[in-house]
Chains A and B, each alone.
Chain A
Amino acid sequence: MTQTPDPITASQGHRLRALMLQYGGILLALVLLCVIFTALNGRFMTVANLTNILQQVAVVAIAAFGMTWVILLGEIDLSIGSIIAVAGMVGALALGFGFVPALLLTLAAGALMGAINGVLTAKLMLPSFIVTVATMGIYRGLVSLPTNGAPAMIADPAWLAIGAGTFLGLPIIIWIVLVLFVFNHILLSRTTFGRRTYLTGGNREAALYSGIKVDRLKIAIFTLSGVMAAVAGILLSSRLYSAQTNAGMSYELDAIAAAVLGGTSLAGGVGTMVGTLIGALIIGVMNNGMNMLSVPYFYQLIVKGLVILIAVWLDVRAKQRRA
């Protein structure tokens, strides 16, 4: 017989269980990594080091927030690393007009580069993989144009304070990550914009027939991804005291890894910002922990690759068992 669905409690009663099912695996992985590194090096589990990890992970985390939107839609944005570099360069050069204009110009540049990705994908119906492979190269080339490949040094104290300053005892950079996390999380989970993203990523045709303007949504999301990358670019240039032409190289891969570790499905329609944040933290903890243990860089690459494979495999297995 028809069981009457309970409108409200049905969701809240199972909420904790559902949360554990969703994030239990990767949270466990994060805790496990911390335990291992603490056991191997006493200095790992200190406030100073944990703050350090958060600062190091900030750039990737913010880029990964943008990437999560794009992947949720069933698309991919490989130009993020290049946008990070362009943003740093635009910022460094525009600082001549003052701090606030430079900030706005940088964000606008990120939005424009993202919008170009979106328009090419949505209106010319090109696969986003191809579009962003192309713009990855184009944007990377553009970085070198103004300085002929030389880095642009940054001396503006306000700009440098973003990466080095503190507010209420916490580095400003961490505040920025937290604010952007909350912003993206709410936008995704509480608004109609987020709902339309899930629907379109889950089934584009069904979304079209439901009256969702899929093209417009796609452009908006690539633009959002561009803006997130620009913010990441600002943080990175601030921490480096300069805009480097090779800044953010291959960060798109770390951003994808963070999103996928966090349970975002590359097929679209499944994923959360909470998951992506945890995914980014796992990457940060691994980098930091292995650096503290003086693991050679090439071993770090191998370990990181293996951890991603195992984590995603465990996740896929758990989800299959549930289904």
Chain B
Amino acid sequence: MSEADRTVLSMRDVKKNFGPVAALKNMRLEVRPGRVHTILGENGAGKSTLMKILVGVHPPTEGRMELDGQPYLPQNPTEASQRGLAIVFQELSLCNNLSVAENIMATHEPARYGFINDRKLRQQAAELVANLGLPVNVDAKVGQLSIAQRQLVEIAKGLSHPAKVLILDEPTSSLSDSEAEILFGIIARLKARGTAIIYISHRMEEIMRLSDDITVIRDGEYVTTRAREDTTIEELIALMVGRRMDEIYPPALEPLPGLSTAPVLQVSGLTRAGEFDDVTFDLCPGEIHGFFGLVGSGRSEVMSALFGMREAQGEIRVDGRAVRFRNAADAIKAGIGFVTENRKEEGLVLGAALRTNISAAAIPAFTGRAGFMNFGAERRAALAEVQRLAIRTNSLDTLAGTLSGGNQQKVVLAKWLLTRPRVLILDEPTRGVDVGAKFEIYRIIRQLASEGTAILMVSSELPEVLGLADRVSIMAGGRITATVAGTDLTPERVMAYATGTLK
């Protein structure tokens, strides 16, 4: 048998129940050395359960696993790592108060009688970092590193044990393109050494580039395994969501609505030192106006200034009247809604009920006599939004934190729709949302625009901007470098403006 046909890790008919809930039903997996095996599935399909079984966090309810031909049933993560499984988690598990070296060598510091040999520790960590080609100083405190650097440290930590199988859980989610390249380089080197890699990601282009094998799972069930050469992005998405998606982006209504009517929002010369400069654009009812730019181009800062959360020079007009927002309440009163970028940080109160979250920005609308809440009206309104956006829940009293990412994002949308905004700002509206929910959110955005809501959509996903926006303003270095529409809306042109090669 040749090396490439050998299986290093296999799972057969693995089941996992949590009480009455079946998280995994019939999982199958064959991982071969020196190959990247991607696991593809929507949020909630069972990927994390699968990982946790592999690294010994949860035992499987049923089924067999083998590692190097030996039965494999790790009782805890320590045993898994001793058998040669390493994992790099998506959530950062580093200690910010310790140095890079201390983090990398955590739990297996070179020590005698409990005293750590600092010199050896630094040396081993430095070797590992150099070996992986990471641009990180091992003496730096992790707290001082950027999120991307921390992700790289996390990977080094995962590899500080010799590993036969390395699991990477969405390793590029916080990396820039150049940092992702470093990671891809590491993966290539590990492959050459014969390490098997289990790779989890939502980014289809990346998956097609890196993977050798791709296993699709859906609703806890094994769907299929394909070799990369034998499949396409479209086929994988269809397999993953279980239905054909001829139309990821719902078509725009013909003719383009709005652009001829009077603008609802006019911004001119909006400036805030060090963040953005002379931002000028207008927005018409029914228009979807995309804001595209690389991270750090100032898009999110402009949006928060438009919402009264940041002071800025310049002029903002709503319906032709000059306005000045001192806080979010002023902006909301003027008819502006803001679906913020991080739903867990600025969007939701995770420990509060769905109904409370949905009404949070519209409290004045539910204020009865003497400041009493009008609970009946609140419930009816929240229920209407839950039904309109098809939020999957069985009660309005469900805590927001218990919903899936896609549903949480819909709750944030519902909260802003309840304020009946005339201008809705969407900052990365589909971040961290699976493909199915993305589609629904696109449909909602289209629907809102067709009803006359003016939409400002910030996104760093180019296909999303191109697929939805009527016009796109491109930001680079705090300025709008171009506003393009119609046939000029091509990926090449937009990227060229965003990176500053076109001016």
A2 to B391, CA, bound (A): 7
The reply to whether the CB of A192 lies closer than 8 angstroms to some CB of chain B is: yes
Q: Is the CB of B340 within 8 A of A209?
A: yes
Q: Which of these, B338, B351, B372, contacts A191 with CB under 8 Å? A: B372
Q: Which chain A residues border B351 with CB–CB below 8 Å?
A: 202, 269-270
Contacts known (A195-B363, A206-B348); A211 close to B328, Cβ less than 8 A: yes
Q: Which chain A residues border B396 with CB–CB below 8 Å?
A: 5, 7, 10-11
Residue of B with least CB distance to A3: B394
The reply to whether the CB of A198 lies closer than 8 angstroms to some CB of chain B is: yes
Most chain B CB inside 10 Å of its own CB: which residue of A5, A11, A190: A5
The reply to whether the CB of B346 lies closer than 8 angstroms to some CB of chain A is: yes
The reply to whether the CB of B466 lies closer than 8 angstroms to some CB of chain A is: no
The reply to whether the CB of A291 lies closer than 8 angstroms to some CB of chain B is: no
Q: Which of these, B307, B373, B390, contacts A195 with CB under 8 Å? A: B373
Q: Which chain A residues border B383 with CB–CB below 8 Å?
A: 5, 7
The proximity string for A residues 182-210 relative to B, scoring 1 for CB distances below 8 Å and 0 otherwise, is: 00000000111111101100110111111
The reply to whether the CB of A153 lies closer than 8 angstroms to some CB of chain B is: no
The proximity string for B residues 367-385 relative to A, scoring 1 for CB distances below 8 Å and 0 otherwise, is: 1001111001001100100
The reply to whether the CB of A8 lies closer than 8 angstroms to some CB of chain B is: yes
Q: Which chain B residues border A320 with CB–CB below 8 Å?
A: none
The reply to whether the CB of B444 lies closer than 8 angstroms to some CB of chain A is: no
The proximity string for B residues 323-350 relative to A, scoring 1 for CB distances below 8 Å and 0 otherwise, is: 0000111011100001010000111111
Q: Is the CB of B392 within 8 A of A2?
A: yes
Q: Is the CB of A202 within 8 A of B352?
A: yes
A208 to B307, CA, bound (A): 11
What is the interface residue range for chain B against chain A? 35 or more
Q: Is the CB of A203 within 8 A of B350?
A: yes
The reply to whether the CB of B164 lies closer than 8 angstroms to some CB of chain A is: no
A54 to B215, CA, bound (A): 66
Q: Which chain B residues border A11 with CB–CB below 8 Å?
A: 395-397
Most chain B CB inside 10 Å of its own CB: which residue of A4, A210, A270: A210
Chain A positions within 8 Å of B, measured between CB atoms, are 2-8, 10-11, 190-196, 198-199, 202-203, 205-213, 269-270
Chain B positions within 8 Å of A, measured between CB atoms, are 307, 309, 327-329, 331-333, 338, 340, 345-352, 356, 360-361, 363-364, 366-367, 370-373, 376, 379-380, 383, 386-387, 390-397, 415
Known: A8-B376, A199-B349, A211-B333. 20 other contacts (CB 8 A): A4-B387, A5-B393, A7-B396, A10-B395, A10-B396, A10-B397, A191-B370, A191-B371, A191-B372, A195-B363, A202-B349, A202-B351, A203-B349, A206-B347, A206-B349, A209-B347, A211-B327, A211-B328, A213-B327, A270-B351
